[in-house]
Amino acid sequence: TEWNVSVWGKRRAFTEHVEKLAELVSEKTGGEFTMNVSYGGLSKNRENLDGISIGAFEMAQFCAGYHRDKNPTITVLELPFLGVNTLEEEVAVSHAVYAHPAAQADLARWNAKLLMTSPMPQYNIVGTGEPRDTLAKMDGMRVRATGGIGNAFKAVGAVPTSVTATEAYQAMESGVVDTVAFAQHAHLSFRTIDQAEWWTANLNPGTVNCPVVVNVDAYEALSDDHRAALDSSVDEAIAHYLENYGALLKKWDGVLEEKGVQKVMIDEAELAKFREIAADPIREQWIADMSAQGLPAQELYDLVMDTLKKQRM
């Protein structure tokens, strides 16, 4: 069996678990079940779910925020200020939501089965000029942030501005935006860190959720051995991802120092105010909207909170 896997960009920390999974599955089946990982050759990233639904390829990665209407249930994981602090916690909450019947039914509309997540750290912002370390200073700030995080910044008077990730560097250079919200690896690969004078270390406004899914028919057509090889490799692939990303995060402080980027800590009181203004109303709005569509929104949100609590015990 050969599977085609559609991801995008270049090979990076964000795709290491997919590469690892391919390696493990091939090893365990003696080369009988292989995965051919394609970086953008098979589909546009925002259409990976379409490709899965058609059956053009068997496995794919995408982010929930690329298309909220395609996958409303898992956007719960992109709500601002969920309070997720580590990649391990991100894995735990993601997999808990993926296991919920509502999320599974949501993705089943695309003939997709949620396999694993691609845990991303919190989207902290880089910027130029004086650090925006209070809510007052964020008023009028032009920030490149999408989805729930964008809404959070809007709630405190900032101006979310549409710029694609690849254009972010130039947008910052040209002053189209003055701050950009990304995870660390993206600040590195889209070079926004080269423009930056400061980086917020503890704003932690939220992150995006990017699952890896498989086509249900292809999954069910696997022989029992092959399916077992795939299922049993997920945890190991995630562990590899965490280790790899962890090394990157360790390097991060060194990168900041080397590039002369100031590490900005925001006062706990300011953060509390931010959460109050942004997190609560956006969450309530989300729950109301999703419930109106007949989705168990409150239940999904509670599931995230409970999982987080359990994870910390």
Partner 1 sequence: MATGASVLENDSLLSRLDQNLYRIERFLALISGLAVFAIMVFAVVSVSGRNALNAPVPGYVDWIEQLMPLIAFMGIAYTQRDGTHIRMDILIGRLSGRALWAAEFITTLAALILMILLVWGSWSHFQRSFDFAAPWWSRDSSIDIALPLWPAKLLVPVAFSILCLRFALQLWGYGRAFVLGLSEPVAIPLIKSAAQQAADEAAILEDTNGERG
Partner 2 sequence: MEPIEIGLIVSGVMVLFVVLGMRVAFAAGMAGLLGLIWIFWAKKGYDPEDFGWALTVAVKTAGQVPHSKVSSQALSLIPTFILIGYLAYYAGLTKALFEASKKWVGWLPGGLAVSTVFATAGFAAVSGASVATSAVFARIAIPEMLKIGYDKRFAAGVVAAGGTLASLIPPSAILVIYAIIVEQDVGKLLLAGFIPGAFSALIYGLLIVTLAMTLPKFGPPVRGFTWGERFRALPPAMPIFFVVFIIIFFIYNPFGGDAWGTPTEGGALGAFVVFLMAVWKGMRWRQFRDALLETAKLAVMIFTIIWGVLIYVRFLGFADLPGAFSDFITGLDQSPMLTLVMILLAYAVLGMFMDAIGMLLLTLPVVYPAVMALNGGEFVSAADSTFGMSGPMCAIWFGILVVKMAEFCLITPPIGLNCFVVAGVRDDLSVQDVFKGVTPFFIADAITIALLVAFPAIVLWLPSLA
Binding residues (CB under 8 A) for partner 1: these are: 46, 50, 53-54, 65-70, 109, 140, 142, 146-147, 150, 159-164, 176, 289, 292-293
Q: In angstroms, how far is CA 193 from the centroid of its own chain? A: 19
Of the two residues 164 and 298, which places its CB atom closer to partner 1 in the complex? 164
Give me the numbers of helices (H) and strands (E) for the chain, helices first please: 14, 11
Strand order in the sheet with 142-144: 159-160, 142-144, 179-182, 124-127, 198-200, 262-264
Asked if 221 is part of the footprint of partner 2 (rule: CB under 8 A), the reply reads: no
Nearest approach, Cβ of 162 to partner 1 (angstroms)?
4
Binders of partner 2 among residues 23 to 52 (CB under 8 A) are: 36, 38, 40-44, 46-47, 50-51
Asked if 76 is part of the footprint of partner 2 (rule: CB under 8 A), the reply reads: no
Among 30, 31, 175, 254, binds partner 2 (CB under 8 A): 175
Which of the choices partner 2, partner 1, none does residue 166 contact, using the CB cut-off of 5 to 8 A by kind? partner 2
At residue 11, what is the residue type? R
Nearest approach, Cβ of 282 to partner 2 (angstroms)?
27
Nearest approach, Cβ of 160 to partner 1 (angstroms)?
7
Among 27, 157, 170, 220, binds partner 2 (CB under 8 A): 170
Q: Determine the Cα–Cα distance for residues 46 and 294; give it in Å rounded to an integer.
A: 25
DSSP secondary structure letters along 185-242 = HHHHHT-HHHH-SEEESS--------EEEEEHHHHHHS-HHHHHHHHHHHHHHHHHHH
Q: In angstroms, how far is CA 274 from the centroid of its own chain? A: 21
Of the two residues 173 and 270, which places its CB atom closer to partner 2 in the complex? 173
Q: Which residues bind partner 2 (CB under 8 A)?
A: 2, 4, 10, 36, 38, 40-44, 46-47, 50-51, 54-56, 164, 166-167, 170-171, 173-176
